[in-house]
Amino acid sequence: MGTQDITITQPGGRRPRFVFGRLFIWYVLGILLTTLILTCILELIGVYLVTLSVQSTTIFAHNRPLQALVILLLVTLPFIVLGAAILFFANLLKRNIRQPVDELMQAVEKIRQQDLNFSINYRGRNELGDLCAAFNQLRHELQLSLEREWGKQEEMRTMMAVLSHDLRTPVTIIQGHVESLARIEAGEKRNERLNRYLPVLEANSQRMTRLLNDMLLVVSLEHTSFVLQPEPVWLEEELKRKAHMDTLQATAHEITFVSMYHHLATQRKQVSIDLHRIEQMLDNLFENALRYTPAHGNISLICTHKTDALSFVLRDTGCCIAPEDLPHVF
């Protein structure tokens, strides 16, 4: 598999942010200021109440437990207020942090389960908000990267299946020729048939080698695309050679095969094509026609060579392709 680069950019461009360190300082200052204000107010209230009690009654002066209780309250009251303020601001800070942290933990768990169909909804204007936005972008880039890899794997599987299917054609031809030779007794007829079959066997063994090399190429490379390699060939001669092999296959199925070549160009010359790919295409069409044409049917291949184009038409007397399958043929 190839490596994929994932780039994370600053989400949302430049925007004002509350730095969490600064926010924490403001929380501490808020706690201290709140404690100071409340303590001063409560101290003033306490002093006022004590003064009022001393002036209004002599019970407080002679009631030492009450004095001790009032003094204890006045001494501990600032700490009580401080503790309450700390709890209040701590709860406020917890509420601001809990949502993004919970969403990030859930996102990590989903990634661990190979589930990328999620999104973090926190949009705070702080570091956690930026972290959540960057995490969302990372998830999106990771999903695109995985989809590309999955697409390559699927393409590779499809290509291997196509090459394996193409490999059946030369194997079938070689097997048919060998079986035909095995049925003929030794003699002049067998020698004549052998001399005629040897070029066919050699050509198909070379085709098998090329197909196997293609399969090795698919396995070894990151991409599965094949590069066309055109070379000048005498198309009419190559079609005659191929027609001979296809005729043998069709005869084995009791089917008549006819190959025709129409030259409409201004002059006869070699054409620059990737013969190997052309043969793969024609083999697939011919095998499908052979599979769906009944015995005593007909298959014809017509090649028209124009000045700037080649056309191939393959017809058979088999069953037609279902209308719903036609859009998926090519």
Contact by Cβ (8 Å): 307, 265? yes
Summary mean pLDDT of the chain: 76
Contact by Cβ (8 Å): 108, 139? no
pLDDT band at 63 (very low <50, low <70, confident <90, very high): low
Q: Identify the pLDDT of residue 300.
A: 94
Q: Identify the pLDDT of residue 74.
A: 65
CA distance 170 to 248: 12
Q: Identify the pLDDT of residue 258.
A: 94
The CA-atom distances, in angstroms, between 104 and each of 10, 27, 73, 136 are 18, 24, 45, 10
* Better-scored residue on pLDDT, 15 or 90: 90
Q: Identify the pLDDT of residue 15.
A: 45
Average pLDDT over residues 308-330: 81
Taking alpha carbons only, the member of 249, 256, 240, 242 closest to residue 299 is: 256
Average pLDDT over residues 230-235: 91
Q: Enter the tokens of residue 124.
A: 């705070």
- Write out pLDDT tens, residues 243-299: 988 888 888 889 999 999 998 877 788 889 988 888 888 888 888 888 889 999 999
Q: Which residues, in sequence order, are CB contacts of 300 under 8 Å at separation 6+?
A: 257, 258, 259, 260, 314, 315, 316
Q: Identify the pLDDT of residue 222.
A: 55
- Write out pLDDT tens, residues 154-211: 877 887 788 788 888 888 888 888 888 788 777 777 788 888 888 888 888 888 887 8
Q: Identify the pLDDT of residue 45.
A: 65
Contact by Cβ (8 Å): 138, 8? yes
The CA-atom distances, in angstroms, between 241 and each of 23, 36, 248 are 84, 103, 11
* Better-scored residue on pLDDT, 279 or 48: 279
Burial class, 85, CB count within 10 angstroms (exposed 0-12 / middle 13-18 / buried 19+): buried
* Better-scored residue on pLDDT, 102 or 294: 294
pLDDT band at 68 (very low <50, low <70, confident <90, very high): low
CA distance 106 to 235: 64
Contact by Cβ (8 Å): 170, 176? no
Taking alpha carbons only, the member of 248, 260, 250, 246 closest to residue 303 is: 260
Q: Residue 81 carries which side chain, given as an amino acid letter?
A: V
**Hey, which of 19-28, 69-78, 132-141 has the most confident mean pLDDT?**
132-141
Q: Identify the pLDDT of residue 20.
A: 55
* Better-scored residue on pLDDT, 273 or 13: 273
Q: Enter the tokens of residue 276.
A: 């190997």
Q: Identify the pLDDT of residue 11.
A: 45
Q: How far apart are the first and last CA of the chain?
A: 28
Question: Which domains does the chain carry?
Answer: 20-115 (no CATH), 230-321 (3.30.565.10)
Q: Identify the pLDDT of residue 10.
A: 45
Whole-model pTM: value is 0.42
* DSSP H/E element including 259: strand 256-263
Q: Which of 109-118, 132-141, 249-258, 304-313 has the lowest mean pLDDT?
A: 109-118
